[in-house]
Amino acid sequence: MVLSIFSLNVRGLRNNIKRKAIFLFCKEQPNTNCFLFQETHSSEDDHIFWRKQWGSGDIYLSHGTSHSAGVAIFLHRFNGRVIDHKGDKEGHWLMVNIELDDTKYILVNVYGFNNRAKNRKLISDLEKMIEEWKIIYSIEKVVVAGDFNMVPDEKQDRFPTKYNSPHFNQTIMDFSCTLNLIDIWRKLNPDKLHYTWSNSERSERSRLDYCLITGSLFPLSSNCKILHSPLIPLSVVQSNITTGHTASICLAC
């Protein structure tokens, strides 16, 4: 079987028409069984209603406020089982421990802060929790994906750049080294310039959304793509109209 992960910054899911459109769009993605949403702007009251609207599997939410943060993991026709899940109270991370075909994974959805110090603490906290779960549940396979709000390499992943040689983000590099994670899209596209965020004039662009996987999963990975979302015109956050991108990864198990 295949574990197929689709990550999307939805820029708010409170608008009913937009939410229905995103749910429909996601369910039309072929063979995808796990969706990671960032900036859901959800509250405790939304959980039951959104699950009924989704209708095709369990959903897990870590709430932010009605106008910021919030992350979610939605399962769609998922034939495995969820062993455990946990999230923070600010809506910036959500972890699930899943089992599919007798193989266990730790799956983490991240929405980074627009603050370097807060992001360092976020990644440091996640590292400790992932290490803890790896020991408790005897898991080696980890997938961390989402909108990190920081680029892995200031030279390749930001435009315009002020660097003539690689300038790696120390926070992401230390996190990846400690947990033996690789940036799968960059591994598959070592020289490609592709961005998941831009300002309205497209004069500034960054690859803020990516997927980090345990190194041993790379030989099992069939693809990792960055796609433009056709739902951008439906966004109620017009200033972010150019930022809605998606990233997906398929792990052939």
CA–CA separation, 194 vs 157, rounded Å? 7
Q: At what angle do helices 116-136 and 170-179 cross, to 10 degrees?
A: 0
Q: What is the mean pLDDT of residues 116-121?
A: 97
pLDDT of residue 231: 67
Does 249 have pLDDT greater than 90?
Answer: no
User: Per residue in 135-153, pLDDT tens?
Assistant: 999 999 999 999 999 999 9
Which residue is listed with tokens 């899209």?
Answer: 185
Q: Is 153 annotated as a binding residue?
A: no
User: Per residue in 76-85, pLDDT tens?
Assistant: 999 999 999 9
Q: Is 45 annotated as a binding residue?
A: no
Using DSSP, state whether 247 is helix, strand or coil: strand
Are 112 and 147 in contact by the 8 Å Cβ rule? The answer is yes
Q: Is 132 annotated as a binding residue?
A: no
Query: What tokens appear for 22 in the block?
Result: 């995103």
* Domains of the chain from N-terminus onward: 2-252 (3.60.10.10)
Q: Is 9 annotated as a binding residue?
A: yes
